[in-house]
Amino acid sequence: MGVTSLGGYDGMLFRYDEPVHSSYWMKDTITPLQIAFFDPAGALLQQFDMPPCKVDPCTTYGPADKFDVAIETFAGQMSNVGIVPGSRIILGTPCPLANA
């Protein structure tokens, strides 16, 4: 909330110790974001475009299945960080785009 600028390939990664069934919302968020959800095997479950929400009730965004990783980027940036349909995520390894 309140963030107006990210640089390069910056975003936010949310990692859960156990798979969860949850959702995110955009209350008081200034800029449009995209979010991608990954299952415990690292497979992309679903991604959403999330416009800012100024008035309750705000839409919530989440996959039908449990996930343990969610990644948020500014709108339009998800494919720039390599997240496209069929993507898999492996945490703990260097990002191949880090020096691009």
Residue of higher predicted confidence among 16 and 12: 16
pLDDT band at 100 (very low <50, low <70, confident <90, very high): low
| Residue range 71-100: mean pLDDT, rounded | 83
pLDDT of residue 98: 65
- E-state strands within the chain: 12-20, 24-25, 33-38, 44-50, 60-61, 67-74
The number of distinct structural domains making up the chain is: 1
Note whether residue 27 is domain-resident: yes
- Print the domain residue range for 52: 12-81
pLDDT at 93 over 80: no
Q: Write down the pTM of the prediction.
A: 0.86
Note whether residue 96 is domain-resident: no
Note whether residue 31 is domain-resident: yes
Note whether residue 60 is domain-resident: yes
Q: 81 and 34 in contact (C-beta within 8 Å)?
A: no
pLDDT band at 99 (very low <50, low <70, confident <90, very high): low
Percent of the chain at pLDDT exceeding 70: 85
pLDDT band at 54 (very low <50, low <70, confident <90, very high): confident
Note whether residue 73 is domain-resident: yes
pLDDT band at 37 (very low <50, low <70, confident <90, very high): very high
Note whether residue 49 is domain-resident: yes
Note whether residue 39 is domain-resident: yes
Note whether residue 91 is domain-resident: no
